[in-house]
Amino acid sequence: MNRFGEMLVFVRAVEDGGFSAAGRSLTMTPSAVSKLIGRLESRLGVALFNRAARTVTLTAEGEAFYTAALRAIEAVEDAEASVLGGRAAQGTLRVRSMPTFATHQLAPLIPVFRRLHPGMRLDFVLSMEPGNLLDGGIDVAIHVGELADSSLVARRFASTRWIICAAPAYLAARGTPRCPEDLAAHECLNFPSTAPWSTWSLRDEAGTTRRLKPAGSVAANTGQMLLAMARAGAGIVRLAEFHIIHDLRAGRLVELFPERHSGAEDPIYALYNGRRHLSPRIRVFLDFLEMSFSQQPPSWERSLDERVRGRPHEVLLTEVPHR
């Protein structure tokens, strides 16, 4: 590996907090990362890390080298961008997203993004597993909902309501609940009780927001499975508006208690590691998300044609500005 590659591995080890975490991000074994850092230290003649039993921390020389390495990486990326111009966004971008958002919202926009950046390769990882969202070499993670404390940078680019609904077939067979209290007599489809989305928020008659976990005999860890069961008439469900907007419009699902909606919206974030200069491939994807989703009304309430061609989105067909 050349010196620039060594600096990239070193910086990732610093930012991920250890050799094992850096190995997962870079798809390298921890021992390979450790040996590379060791060769770098031998060549420089200094120790860059203080190695303890469970942790590694930077030495004073490591701190100085980290700052210099960031400047060097930024200089190389800026040099490539100055020569390549609009073609600077190249290489593979790995994106993690919850499956429903990727399938229903990102997928229709990918042809536009590819026309803008034909030199890029996109690698999507669809997962709802908890943990470090950037493990495994992920560059950008899409997260719906409030964030726990994190060292990652979060750029909010949209928000979504959660809607309680059911299929006409279910309501015809079981009756339509008139108030949230009636849910106790119905079959409610839900996420597992440990998932944050399993709690439903509604306003009572006094306008106070109430939180409840409705009882039900069927749960699933993906919204797509819950949607399929709700369409089949298996029960009442609560899903994100971006996921079910077309089913509501087509009459396959009917919203319940719209007057009792809490009015709250869950933020949708793009998460990335911002402790170093952003590469062009990450920067253009973040800009594309913001330009595609941040306008009002929400993008899922507009047609695809409006999203990628209508003002103010005309710029998407010509150039995505760098920040």
DSSP secondary structure string, 158-225?
EEE-EEEEE-HHHHHHH---SSGGGGGGS-BEE--TTSGGG-EEEE-TTS-EEEE----SEE-SSHHH
Q: What's the mean per-residue pLDDT of the chain?
A: 82
Query: pLDDT by residue (tens digit) across 115-153?
Result: 888 888 999 999 877 667 788 788 999 998 888 766 788
CATH 1.10.10.10 fits 3-84, yes or no: yes
Provide the pLDDT confidence category of residue 215 given band limits of 50, 70 and 90: confident
| Closest alpha carbon to 96 in 135, 128, 51, 126 | 126
What pLDDT, on the 0 to 100 scale, is given for residue 308? Answer: 46
Greater model confidence, 262 or 190: 190
What pLDDT, on the 0 to 100 scale, is given for residue 124? Answer: 94
The share of the chain scoring above pLDDT 90, in percent, equals 38
For the segment 21-40, the average pLDDT, to the nearest whole number, is 83
What pLDDT, on the 0 to 100 scale, is given for residue 101? Answer: 93
What pLDDT, on the 0 to 100 scale, is given for residue 194? Answer: 86
CATH 3.40.50.300 fits 162-260, yes or no: no
Query: pLDDT by residue (tens digit) across 244-265?
Result: 999 999 999 999 999 888 777 8
Greater model confidence, 225 or 25: 225
Provide the pLDDT confidence category of residue 243 given band limits of 50, 70 and 90: very high
Homologous superfamily assigned to 89-160+266-317: Periplasmic binding protein-like II (3.40.190.10)
For the segment 297-319, the average pLDDT, to the nearest whole number, is 44
Sequence spans of domains, the chain? 3-84, 89-160+266-317, 162-260
pLDDT at 191 exceeding the cut of 90: yes
Among 137-146, 233-242, 291-300, 303-312, the least confident range: 303-312
Please tell me whether the overall predicted TM-score, pTM, comes out greater than 0.95 for this model. no
CA atoms of 321 and 323, how far apart (whole Å): 6
Return phi, psi of residue 177, to 5°.
-65, 135
Query: pLDDT by residue (tens digit) across 44-65?
Result: 999 999 887 667 789 999 999 9
What pLDDT, on the 0 to 100 scale, is given for residue 273? Answer: 84
| Contact between 139 and 218 (Cβ < 8 Å) | no
Query: pLDDT by residue (tens digit) across 86-103?
Result: 445 678 899 999 999 999
Tell me the residue type at 272: Y
The share of the chain scoring above pLDDT 70, in percent, equals 84
Tokens of 296: 């009002």
pLDDT at 171 exceeding the cut of 90: yes
Query: pLDDT by residue (tens digit) across 156-168?
Result: 999 999 999 999 9
Among 17-21, 124-128, 284-288, the least confident range: 17-21
Same fold for the domain at 89-160+266-317 and the one at 162-260?
A: yes
CA atoms of 289 and 254, how far apart (whole Å): 29
What pLDDT, on the 0 to 100 scale, is given for residue 205? Answer: 78
What pLDDT, on the 0 to 100 scale, is given for residue 319? Answer: 31
What pLDDT, on the 0 to 100 scale, is given for residue 318? Answer: 29
For the segment 190-198, the average pLDDT, to the nearest whole number, is 88
What pLDDT, on the 0 to 100 scale, is given for residue 296? Answer: 59
Tell me the residue type at 232: A
